[in-house]
Chain A
Amino acid sequence: MAFLQLKSVGQTYFSKTSATTALEDISLSVNEGEFISILGPSGCGKSTLLSIIAGLLIPTEGSVLVNNQLVNQPHPKIGYMLQQDYLFPWKTIEDNILLGLKLRNLYTQEHIQSAFRLLREIGLDHTIKKYPSELSGGMRQRVALVRTLATQPKLLLLDEPFSALDYQTKLKLEDLVSSTLKEHGKTAILVTHDIGEAIAMSDSVIMLSSNPGRIFRTFKITESLKNLLPFEARQHPDFSATFQQIWEELEQIEQNDFE
């Protein structure tokens, strides 16, 4: 039984002068523990799709199911991580990572301790009394990861979480996020426009075409890459072959758009 199911989800935005279809007939299912990436040109509705799965946006067509339960509001088992860290500058790191627990009514000693444990795991327990402005970009994004994981979601939605970071930090964080999620047995959906990142991190890659966003193709990543850390996967001989393949597909999408 699939953990997450999307049944022909569609989203149309209305304005005074027009109706724009951002997503059309998106159907997919994700098993527990799977890591999938959604790849596509900008403006293909990737972020919209993520907002719909998170329950922040009710789709105009179709439905989203988690464990066969309809998602029509932010679900406690789904965590959402944004493009930038969006840590609250007026809160200390401690208050920031405990925010979700407070809002979810999970503010118990047990949950608080496990949030602190997570912070220690990613090597930032010394920052607990600091404010976000005192941390570097990479550290802040790691804190944001802890904040998202603190409520112990089963499914993690990652909306280009490394796009605002420099390349080195990004590579390190990919490894950290990937191993942390694997260790805790989380299911994850990563939205990105970075082909390498999608291949290195996930089990399968879903490619969207734009205007309106539709599933163009689903790529299974080979076993040889799946079990490697993202950084190692990037060095593997199979990596560039997969990269080439996806690159050509993306070119084709763009050509189709052009015609």
Chain B
Amino acid sequence: MSKTISNKKHLEFLSGIKKEKRNIWIVQLLIFLSFFSLWEIASKQGWINPLLFSSPSKIWALFIEKVSDGSLYIHVVFTLGETVLGFILGTLFGTLLAALLWWSPFLSKVLDPYLVVLNAMPKVALGPILIVAIGPNFGSIIAMGILISVIITTLVVYTAFQNVDENYVKVVRSFGGNKKQCFKEVILPACFPSIISSLKVNVGLSWVGVIVGEFLVSKQGLGYMIIYGFQVFNFTLVLMSLLIIAVMATFMYQGVEYLESKLIKHHS
């Protein structure tokens, strides 16, 4: 008797959760739809300058046109490739540098003020120098994507390395493990969560680096489309590129979150 009651209560509880989830989803959809409808109406009615703010229907038409003539594809692939490469290399180099600092406390003390300065400096300002040094090509865009994320990654991951519970290292050492084994068995796996979370930050940062890089040098890519649209005063093109970037960045972030759920199931 009491079991059926508790079962019933449980079902009510579950349907409560379901209902809340659905309501959240409905409100989210509503916000989305009203934003774009309002934008469309405001543009049609002349409440906002249609030349400057374009309208969803014009952006959509341009999007269809660009997709069907195949010119959009190459831009998207180009920018996406640069960003992925930038953030993976940025995270990788950052982690390697952090490992080096962990390995040599002396080096870490020596480099400390330099890292602080480099971190505080706006990396985007280095753009012109990169272009002259590497050349106005793919390479300097990637370099920008890396540069913008590598220092912050180093700092975050190194701090995580330092905060690993010393007793885990003690376990490995009591079994005669050397420094390399301590790193491999304890430090690195213990810090996977921090490395993944710096990966999350770097997704955003690399988009900044790559888009700015494309502003400066590129003849291809979404950043190029934005700067071109701006030069010819075609703001429909600018806004379309912006929306595509937003969608891509979201997917990439979701991808990293998926990776996170796979990799760090057992870190508690």
On chain B, which size bracket covers the interface? Answer: 20 to 34
Chain B 159-184 interface residues, beta-carbon cutoff 8 Å to A? 165, 167-168, 170-177, 181
| Contacting pair A76 B171 (CB below 8 A) | no
Q: Say yes or no: A56 contacts B174, CB within 8 Å.
A: yes
Known: A88-B189, A90-B192. A82 touches B176 (CB 8 A): no
- Determine whether A54 belongs to the interface, using a CB cutoff of 8 Å to chain B: yes
Task: Determine whether the beta carbon of A89 is less than 8 Å from that of B175.
Answer: no
Neighbouring B residues of A54 by C-beta, 8 Å: 174
Measured between alpha carbons, how far is A82 from B166 in the docked complex, in Å?
Answer: 12
Out of A76, A89, A99, A104, which one reaches B268, CB within 8 Å? A89
Interface residues on A, range: 20 to 34
Nearest opposing residue in chain B for A74, CB measure? B176
Report yes or no: B176 in contact with A80, Cβ–Cβ below 8 A: no
Determine if A88 and B168 form an interchain contact, defined as CB atoms under 8 angstroms apart. Answer: yes
Q: Which of B171, B172, B176 has its CB near the most chain A CB atoms (within 10 A)?
A: B171
| A133 pairs with B176, CB closer than 8 A | no
Q: Determine which of B167, B174, B189, B190 lies in contact with A74 in the assembled complex, contact meaning CB atoms within 8 Å.
A: B174
Cα-based distance from A80 to B190 in the complex (angstroms):
21
User: In the complex, what distance in Å separates the CA atom of A106 from the CA atom of B195?
Assistant: 32
Asked if A86 and B173 sit within 8 Å, CB to CB, the answer is: no
Contacts of A89 in B (CB 8 A): 266-268
CA distance A86 to B171 in the complex (A): 8
CA distance A89 to B189 in the complex (A): 10
A151 an interface residue at 8 Å Cβ cutoff?
yes
A231 to B190, CA, bound (A): 38
**Nearest chain A CB to B179 CB, angstrom units:** 12
Tell me if A86 and B167 are in contact (CB < 8 A): yes
Interface residue ranges, B against A (CB under 8 Å):
165, 167-168, 170-177, 181, 185-186, 189-190, 192, 264, 266-268
Beyond the given A88-B185, A103-B172, A103-B175, could you list 19 further A-B residue pairs with CB under 8 A, ordered by the A residue number?
A: A54-B174, A73-B176, A74-B175, A78-B174, A79-B174, A80-B170, A80-B171, A86-B165, A86-B167, A86-B171, A89-B266, A89-B267, A90-B192, A90-B267, A99-B171, A99-B172, A99-B185, A103-B181, A133-B268
- 5 of the cross-chain contacts (CB-CB < 8 Å) are A88-B186, A90-B189, A90-B190, A99-B171, A104-B176
